[in-house]
Amino acid sequence: MNRYLVQLDFISFIKFNSLSFCCANTLFSPFNALFTFESSGIGRALLALFLAPFAGLLLGAVFGVLAYPLYRFLTSRSEFLAALSGRFQEISDETPEESLPNK
């Protein structure tokens, strides 16, 4: 795999942050629902479980906006923090959006 130094632009950082928060919030939502069930009942627990992905997207966007200046500062000064590895595919402006190949 190749390694690249990367500094995401504002919109890409917000999208990545929102996706990360959505996944984390969804993963931990059963624990939150259990604690909510113990204190507030089944209705609120199910609501917490259902709304977890959407709350994660919203929290990711909010914290992404707040954290972007720090992210830019840190990645511009640290090669370790800016280095990413993985599969990358360039998308040209002329072709329709395609997904990454499954390899």
What are 47-75's pLDDT values in tens digits? 888 888 999 999 999 999 999 999 999 99
Ramachandran sector of residue 18 (left: φ over 0; alpha: ψ -120 to 50; beta: rest)? alpha
pLDDT at 17: 95
pLDDT, tens digit, 9 for 90 and up, residues 14-33: 999 999 999 999 998 888 88
pLDDT at 44: 83
Q: What band does 98 get if pLDDT is binned at 50, 70 and 90?
A: low
Inside any domain, residue 96: no
How far is residue 102's CA from residue 91's CA, in Å, rounded to a whole number? 16
Inside any domain, residue 2: no
Tell me the two tokens of residue 49.
């479980």
Q: How many domains does the chain contain in total?
A: 1
Inside any domain, residue 95: no
Inside any domain, residue 59: yes
pTM equals 0.75
Tell me the two tokens of residue 37.
């069930």
